[in-house]
Amino acid sequence: KAGVTQTPRYLIKTRGQQVTLSCSPISGHRSVSWYQQTPGQGLQFLFEYFSETQRNKGNFPGRFSGRQFSNSRSEMNVSTLELGDSALYLCASSSRQGRGTEAFFGQGTRLTVV
């Protein structure tokens, strides 16, 4: 069974630009979550989608958005990029919502904003 696939692996963008990151979950998984990881802040939850609906949202500005498609693939978009958006963006998929469900992570997309 293929794991979680994130594309691209690396990305360099300029301040003010926008970026779209993609995540393909494990086959059969319907829940996709996004996290931002930085050295100073650790893993910060961005949002979670389940069956094309956003179920949870973290404390990030509206420049961060996402969506999920009918095949469970998900994208996240960051508009008007700032230097502080440089981070490793991780996607995790789960087979279902609910307590005790394990999350499986992709390798991440390393975004650098210059």
Partner 1 sequence: TQLLEQSPQFLSIQEGENLTVYCNSSSVFSSLQWYRQEPGEGPVLLVTVVTGGEVKKLKRLTFQFGDARKDSSLHITAAQPGDTGLYLCAGGGNAGKSTFGDGTTLTVKP
| Options 22, 79, 86, 107; binder of partner 1; rule CB under 8 A | 107
Q: Report if residue 98 touches partner 1, rule: CB under 8 A.
A: yes
Q: Which is nearer to partner 1, 36 or 78 (CB)?
A: 36
Cα-Cα end-to-end distance for the chain: 37
Peptide bond into 61 cis (omega under 30): no
Q: Which is nearer to partner 1, 41 or 77 (CB)?
A: 41
The answer to whether 75 and 57 have CB atoms below 8 angstroms apart is no
| Cα separation, 108 vs 22, whole angstroms | 10
Q: Report if residue 99 touches partner 1, rule: CB under 8 A.
A: yes
Residue 50: closest CA among 69, 36, 64, 65? 69
| Options 24, 31, 68, 72; binder of partner 1; rule CB under 8 A | 31
| Options 77, 80, 101, 112; binder of partner 1; rule CB under 8 A | 101
DSSP state of 22: E
Secondary structure of residue 102 in the 3-state scheme: coil
Q: Which is nearer to partner 1, 7 or 18 (CB)?
A: 7
| Residues of the shown chain interacting with partner 1 in the complex, contacts defined by CB under 8 A | 4, 6, 31-33, 35, 42-43, 45, 48-50, 55-56, 58, 88, 90, 92, 94, 96-108, 110
